[in-house]
Structure 1
Amino acid sequence: MKPVNLNQARKARSRAEAKAKADENAVRFGRTKAEKVLDATQAKQASDRLAQLKFEDD
């Protein structure tokens, strides 16, 4: 039987818990690349539309 380093076991357990929580948060709050691209495209279109509607005083 091989001796177990308790510090390493504690750190490994902590890492596993942190990874599980990160994965859960990624599912809950994460957005896909397609959603991010869609939002950026819509924002650009809205900005372009506002620029077209501006009055220019000369």
Structure 2
Amino acid sequence: MGDPVNLNKARKARDRAMREAEAAANRAKHGRSKAEKANDRREEERRRALLDGARKEETPG
């Protein structure tokens, strides 16, 4: 048989790992300079415009 597992410790470790992952994502999202944010915004707008430009027009009927 396997070793007994303390479920409270397992749950807390899982929650801690999830919080750390969320914190890392927030650091990447919010820990940037104004120029980096503007560059990302510009890149996203360019990508969206390219995608919308390639959209096929639908004809009713």
TM-score normalised according to structure 2 size = 0.49
The answer for unaligned runs of 5 or more in structure 2 is 37-61
Superposed CA deviations along residues 3-58 of structure 1, whole A, max 9, x for unmatched, are 000000000000000000000000000036xx8xxxxxxxxxxxxxxxxxxxxxxx
AA partner of residue 23 (structure 1): A
Q: Measure the CA separation in 1 of the matches of 2:32 and 2:3.
A: 45
The 2-side partners of 1:6 and 1:23 are apart by 26
Amino acid in structure 1 at the alignment position of 2:8:
N
- 2:4 counterpart residue number: 3
**Count of residues in correspondence between the two structures:** 33
Runs of 4+ in 1 over 2 A off after TM superposition: none
TM-score by length of 1: 0.52
For residues 13 and 31 of structure 2, what CA distance do their matches in structure 1 show?
A: 25
C-alpha RMSD of matched pairs (Å): 1.7
Uncovered stretches (5+) of structure 1, i.e. residues with no partner: 36-58
What are the within-5 Å matches in structure 2 for residues 29-44 of structure 1? 29-31=30-32
Code of the aligned partner of 2:22: K
2:13 matches 1:20: no
